Structure 1
Amino acid sequence: MTGESVPVGRRPVAVTTSPTRITTEQTRAIVGATPAARRQVGPSDLQVFPVALSGNVFGWTADSVESERVLDSYVAYGGNFIDTADSYAGGRSEIIIGNWMRSRGSRDDIVLATKVGKSADHPGLAARAVTAAVEASLHRLRTDRIDLLYLHIDDPDVPFEETLLAVDELVRAGKVRYFGGSHHTGSRLIEARIASAQLGVARMVALQNQYNLMFRREYEEGLARVAADLHLGVMPRFALASGFLTGKYRSKSDLDGSRRVEVGHYINRAGLRVLQALDAVAAEHDSPPATVALAWLLSKPNVVAPVVSASAVDQVFDLVAAVDVRLTRSQLMSLDRASA
């Protein structure tokens, strides 16, 4: 079943927001000692940690040294699901991840996802572009296979049949294990499924679209039903609304240059109402708002693993701790009402 957890008896871990909050190093001995929960990605055999670590900041706001520290910390907490794209930092994100996997000898322990379609070198989803983009990604990632390949865009100028046949060839060659869509509408996902059936080629197993407490309508009023009908595992991107749901940004004066456009439009009455509800629930769990925002996503049907990024190692624990937070029905209703 999509999003089904594999019970492994992971010990719950409390997160404290007090001044004596435990550090990443102190919690590693607690969390890393037992196996982490795993969820199945759609009908595939991929079993992943319920929080995916995005590499979108690697090679950009996080240099290679800090990126490797973030990756090490994530894995120490039981994480195994790394998400990147050929367009992130002009390919540098894939290079950093590839070098890290090679140096740690961890490739077989990682479920590796990347995306094609947006890079400057191989834009779009024409067959030639998809094939060339995957070959380039494999080279940068220093691996012979991509576990989960996303079509990073919907390219209406290219017939789905052409794209699907190109991906299927990569699957048959063992270079891609499974694939999914990103930034696709429900109707286009259905169109892709019909085309896959007619062609007898590999089908999408996953969906990565924007979904969070500040951006619910697109997914809940259309994509959720399609994802359920097509048995797609859902990986919400922008899971923390570009950082707004961390609670760090509550007024215009909190914004720095890099966040001004992305977060600024959330700082209004509606956004502050959501933060107020998050604060209340977070206090009841002795957890930071970001942890609760991710736990809310994990409570939703078909959601397998929200995709989140960390530009510094000390941010990792708040993200992975979401898998141990169980929100009550009352808490879920409070967050739903505040963000409606």
Structure 2
Amino acid sequence: MDKRKFGNTSLTIAPVIFGGNVFGWTLDEQASFSILDEFADAGFNAIDTANNYSYWVPGNQGGESETIIGNWLKQKNNRSEIVLMTKVGGGFGGDSKLNTTAAYIIQQAEESLKRLQTDYIDVYQTHYDDEVTPVEETLRAYEELIKAGKVRYIGASNFSPKRLVDSLEASKEHQLPQYSSLQPEYNLYSREKFEKEYRDIALKYNLAVIPYYSLASGFLSGKYQTEDDFNQSARSGGIKEQYWNDRGRKIVEQLQEVADNKRVSVSAVALAWLLAQPTIAAPIASATKAAHIKSFVEASRLRFNSEEIKNLNEASNFYIYE
């Protein structure tokens, strides 16, 4: 499978990153191992997780996803073949708060390394910016971890545009490690915030963009085509409320049309649209069954003609709904 250069790093990744939020949540360890085997066997090599996944599951404390990934890496003995990404700074539910202080980052890095059963993290990302800690303090913590060989590169996720630019400029001014990647919410439905506020920053600083919610919580997977499709589960109600409107219906219809013409899954079309956008290194997507991995493969191979891109862009155009 063709690999893509990851921003300004020496890393190369396959065109879809596995989203590890499902490990310890919708998948137990055995099922997680099976789906990771499918993912790696298909030629993919990048996994994204976080220190607090899957704290929201009753009985969990956070760190379960990293633990499962670490056990899989040990079993397969394939650490050198995997680009491993994890995150720090997010809360663990309840009264826990966002935290990007140096002491916290250093301490959490050690815990993540133990759970992942590895000596180093390829891309260590600020999950959420606490917007209080000076950006230089956060970056100096990463500098310490990089010098110790425990982290190779760093990335940013949920930042305000100003704090992101402040961080990037501080890196240049103080000769500190610079964020190499940006993980925003971005998909065919949720385009406006990224395209208006972050895309130019990503272009200017050569950030590798790795979007989360690439399939809009499953709305862009093809499973929701009619009103009746939202009666499948309690979770579907929230998806319907957020996405099922005139614009959402147009997007789904256009995705289905392209999928039918290309003879691929709707998910593959939605992921391939992201891959066709400037600055996008690879979308993050989760999988719970082999069919999902098949859609990842389809997306990596899919190429659009100008008419298909035009139609997808027009169906998802947010300007006309402002």
Shift of 1:270: 1.2
Residue of structure 1 in register with 2:269 after alignment: 292
Contact 1:50 1:304 in 2 (8 A): yes
Return the match for 1:211 from 180, 186, 197.
186
Shift of 1:279: 0.7
TM-score, normalised by the number of residues in structure 2: 0.92
* Partner amino acid, structure 1, of 2:88: V
Which residue matches 1:24?
A: none
Consecutive unaligned residues in structure 2, runs of 5 or more: 55-61, 318-322
SS at match of 2:128: coil
- Alpha-carbon shift at residue 335 of structure 1 (Å): 0.3
Secondary structure of residue in 2 paired with 1:88: coil
- The aligned residue for residue 105 of structure 1 is 77
Corresponding residue for residue 174 of structure 2: 199
Measure the CA separation in 1 of the matches of 2:4 and 2:97: 32
1:332 corresponds to which of 309, 318, 322: 309
Q: Structure 1 stretches of 5 or more lacking a match? A: 1-35
- Aligned-pair distance for 1:307? 0.1
C-alpha RMSD over aligned residues = 1.4
- Indicate conservation of the 8 Å contact 1:122/1:133, yes or no: no
Which of 6, 20, 26 is residue 61 of structure 1 equivalent to?
26
Please give the alpha-carbon distance, in whole angstroms, between the structure 1 residues aligned to 2:30 and 2:99. 32
Shift of 1:320: 2.7
In 2, the alpha carbon distance for the partners of 1:146 and 1:123 equals 21
Deviations 1:45-91 (A, max 9, x none): 01000100111111101111111111000111100001101111111
TM (norm. structure 1) is 0.87
Q: Which residue does the alignment assign to 2:38?
A: 73
Instruction: Find the aligned partners of 1:259 and 1:88 in 2 and give their Cα distance.
Output: 22
Deviation, 1:144, is 0.5
Distance 2:155 2:237 in 1: 31
> How many residues are treated as equivalent by the alignment?
305
Q: Compute the displacement of 1:191 (Å).
A: 0.6
Residues 74-133 of structure 1 show CA distances to partners (whole Å, capped at 9, x for unaligned) of 111100001101111111111110000100001000000001111437841011111111
Give matches, 1:233-244, under 5 Å.
233-244=208-219
Match of 1:229 among 204, 219, 224: 204
Q: Which structure would you say has the larger RCO, counting Cα contacts within 8 Å and 6 or more residues apart?
A: 1
Q: Aligned partner of 2:110: which letter?
A: E
Aligned twin of 1:93: 65
Partner AA of 2:85 in structure 1 = A
Question: What's the offset of the Cα at 1:312?
Answer: 2.3
Q: Any residues of structure 2 matched to 1:124-203 within 5 Å, and which?
A: 124-203=99-178
Letter in 1 for 2:235: S
Counterpart residue type for residue 106 of structure 2: T
The offset of 1:186, in angstroms, is 2.6
Query: What one-letter code is carried by the residue in structure 1 that aligns with 2:302?
Result: V
8 Å Cα contact 1:123-1:129 kept in structure 2: no
Deviation at 1:334, TM superposition (A): 0.2
In the aligned structure 2, how far is the partner of 1:271 from the partner of 1:301? 23
Larger displacement relative to structure 2 (256-265 or 66-75): 256-265
Within the alignment, does 1:266 sit opposite 2:238 as a pair?
no
1:150-171 CA-partner distances (Å, limit 9, x unpaired)? 1000211111011111111101
